[in-house]
Structure 1
Amino acid sequence: MADDLVKQPIHWISTVEELEECCERWQSKKLLAVDTEFMRSQTYYPIAGLIQVNDGEANYLLDPTTIDDFSPFAEILVDDDIIKAIHSCSEDLEVFYHSFGFLPQRLFDTQIAGAFVNLGYSMGFARMVQGVLGVELPKTETRSDWLQRPLSVAQKHYAALDVEYLYLLAGKLLTELKAKERLDWVFGEGKTIVKNFSDNLDPKLSYLRVKNAWKLNAKQLAIFQNLCEWRELTAQKRDKPRNRIVKENTLFAMALKRPKHISQLRNYEGMSDRVIRTDGEYLLRLIERADKIEASDLPELLPKPLTSAENKRVKALRAEVQKVADEIGIASEILARKKEYDYIVRDYLARGEWSYPEGFPQWRQALLTDLINETIKVEPADEVDS
């Protein structure tokens, strides 16, 4: 039972005054464990249902349905002197940014941290707690309605459990990482996560998240970029999921065929009468505008899938990186991601030289530069079928 596992007091925080008292207490802390519960089935933005904090002494459940000013908490989250432990933080960042307008600094993502101490890549929270702390956490409230009030006792205990054991988990990982002299690496990854989140907020870049966009030529890509930006802005304005506006396959087909008349929009699967009625003329103008862009101003073509020759080199490089990862006890995915392998190999085959993609961390460069120099120049052997 969840209540048997909760060892520390649970405090329900529902007013700004109570939040201010908590934040004053947290200013002297070196570590806070933080989690969020939210709902998002019919909306673009996550709706915050609960913010959980553990400071090593107690669990605090912050109620965003009644607290109308989270600026005291924002000051805590952006304080570089306080470590904020979050597990797999991407969705939590969305909640903090879209609900309260801020992003945490001094971020310690325990999922990332686990990869630095050989616990594997992308390990779930419950599994990591069981492996590191020997505690099996219940999963009874994972699909709860976190916007209902009052929350049940079971919900409160479940929410408190998450941060109580997150705090203990973070403490163990911090100690081990400090002993291995890898703390700066993990905090560097935290900064990168926050930066990437901020960079991806630009609606103009939303087309880059569509897997098949590489199939489009420059003119089509300009149209697709405009259409995807429109969808992103419309979804935000109406607070509806992107696909409730128009599915990306529909926008892709429009970029290919470039409709010029309202009547043609009805030929596209997934194009609703409402969108045609309210946005049809505007979409046609977007297409026409993109169609007139000068060649020099068109977006760069997106990389195609790797060729067979490129794949062989990536595979050879990945195998050597895996050896380094095994030797130092770290998940290989932390040393280099797929896009980074692709970039390095493509750069070498195009220029006869190679470089790291922008922002590639110095600590990784120190581990990999000599290895890449030796490996990338060797022509990979053809695989033999067994």
Structure 2
Amino acid sequence: MSENLVKQPIIWVETNEHLEQICGHWQSKSMLAFDTEFMRSNTYYPIAGLIQVNDGEKNYLIDPTTIDDFYPLIDIIDNEDIVKVLHSCSEDLEVFHYAFGCLPNNIIDTQIAGAVLGLGYSVGYANLVRLVLNIDLPKSETRSNWLQRPLSQSQLHYAAIDVEYLFKLASYTIEQMASSKRLEWVQQDSRALVQNFFVNQDPDRSHLRFKSAWKLSPRQLASLIQLSRWREDLAQEKNVPRNRIVKESALFSLAQQVPTHVSQLKGYEGLNERMIRSNGSKIIKIVSAVKNIPEQELPARLPAPLTAEERALLDILKNKVAQIADQLNVPNELLAKKKDYEFLIHGLRRGDVQIPLSFAGWRRDIIGNALLEITKNQGN
């Protein structure tokens, strides 16, 4: 039973005054564990249902549906002297940004910590707790309604467990990393998650979601970029999932075929009548404008899939990474990801091989320089 796993008191926080009081108490803390529960099945932005915090002594469950002054909590989230512990925090960052207008300073992501400790890459929270603390956590409330009030006892215990054991997990992993001098690795990678948040949310990059975009000519790609940006902006404005606006398959076909009149839009699967009536003219205007872009201002084609020769180089690079990862007892993916290999190989295509930006920190000396040398030698 989940209630048997809760060892620390559960404190329900539902007023501005109570939140201010506990945030004042947290100002003296060196570490806090955070988690969020939210809903987003029918919205673009996540709707915060609960904010959980553990300070090593108590589980605090903060109700964002009744509190309207979050500045004391924002001060805590922004405080660089307090370590904020999260697990696989990308969605939590969205909640912080859209609910509170801020992103946390000084974070530790325990999923990254688990990888650095050689416990596996992208390990889920429950599995990591099992590996490190030998405790099986319940999953019964994973998909429950976090906006309902009152929350059930099962939900309250589930929410408390998440942060109570996250704090314990962080305490253990930080101690282990400090002794192995790898804490800086986790701090750098966790910081990068926050730094890359706005890059990943940029509407101008939304066309990169399309895996077949490399097939498009520069002018077709320009259409896809403009259409994707329009869809992203409209989804944000209306606060609905982007595929509720236009499905990706329809957007890709529009970029490929470049219709010239609203009447032609009826032939596109994924474009319904209501969308054509309300936005058909806008779609035609977007693709028509791309026709007038001068050739020299069009985007470069996206890289095509690797050739057989390039895949052979990819295997060489992966083998080098596997060798070093084995020596360090960490997952291969912690050292280099698919996009890193492709960045090097695409650079070789252009005759301009450079180290990926993700290797700018601790990876440069451990793996970056070696992969750069191998790639350059392949081109000689």
TM-score scaled by structure 2?
A: 0.96
Matches of residues 56-95 of structure 1 in structure 2 within 5 Å? 56-95=56-95
Match of 2:210 in 1: 210
Q: How far apart are the structure 2 equivalents of 1:48 and 1:316?
A: 45
Q: How far apart are the structure 2 equivalents of 1:291 and 1:100?
A: 41
**3-state SS of the aligned residue for 2:312?**
helix
- Which one-letter code corresponds to 2:60 in the other structure? Y
Residue identity (%): 50
Match of 2:127 in 1: 127
8 Å CA contact retained: 1:310, 1:346: no
Match of 2:360 in 1: 361
Matches of residues 161-310 of structure 1 in structure 2 within 5 Å? 161-310=161-310
- Which one-letter code corresponds to 1:306 in the other structure? L
**3-state SS of the aligned residue for 2:48?**
strand
- Which one-letter code corresponds to 2:354 in the other structure? S
Q: 1:215 Cα shift? A: 1.0
Match of 1:41 in 2: 41
Alignment partner of 1:336 is 2:363: no
Q: 1:121 Cα shift? A: 0.2
Q: 1:192 Cα shift? A: 1.1
Q: How far apart are the structure 2 equivalents of 1:155 and 1:40?
A: 18
Q: How far apart are the structure 2 equivalents of 1:232 and 1:372?
A: 36
- Which one-letter code corresponds to 2:85 in the other structure? A
Match of 1:3 in 2: 3
Match of 1:314 in 2: 314
8 Å CA contact retained: 1:344, 1:354: yes
Q: Which moved more, 1:363-372 or 1:82-91?
A: 363-372
Q: How far apart are the structure 2 equivalents of 1:36 and 1:369?
A: 35
Q: 1:104 Cα shift? A: 1.0
Q: How far apart are the structure 1 equivalents of 2:92 and 2:368?
A: 34
**3-state SS of the aligned residue for 1:362?**
coil
Q: 1:32 Cα shift? A: 0.6
Match of 1:12 in 2: 12
Query: What number of residue pairs does the alignment pair up?
Result: 379
Q: 1:378 Cα shift? A: 6.5
Q: 1:237 Cα shift? A: 1.2
Closer/same/farther in 2, CA of residues 288 and 45 from structure 1, 3 Å limit:
same
8 Å CA contact retained: 2:207, 2:229: yes
Match of 2:146 in 1: 146
- Write the deviation string for residues 54-112 of structure 1: whole angstroms up to 9, x where unpaired: 00000000001001121211111111111111010011111111122111111111001
Match of 1:30 in 2: 30
8 Å CA contact retained: 1:10, 1:58: yes
**3-state SS of the aligned residue for 2:201?**
coil
Match of 1:383 in 2: none
Q: How far apart are the structure 2 equivalents of 1:315 and 1:142?
A: 39
8 Å CA contact retained: 1:35, 1:163: yes
Q: CA RMSD in A?
A: 1.5
Match of 1:384 in 2: none
Q: 1:361 Cα shift? A: 2.5
**3-state SS of the aligned residue for 1:33?**
strand
**3-state SS of the aligned residue for 1:355?**
coil
**3-state SS of the aligned residue for 1:316?**
helix
- Which one-letter code corresponds to 2:338 in the other structure? K
5+ unaligned residues in a row in structure 2: which ranges?
A: none
TM-score scaled by structure 1?
A: 0.95
Q: 1:23 Cα shift? A: 0.9
Q: How far apart are the structure 2 equivalents of 1:20 and 1:350?
A: 56
Q: 1:208 Cα shift? A: 1.4
5+ unaligned residues in a row in structure 1: which ranges?
A: 381-386
**3-state SS of the aligned residue for 2:359?**
coil
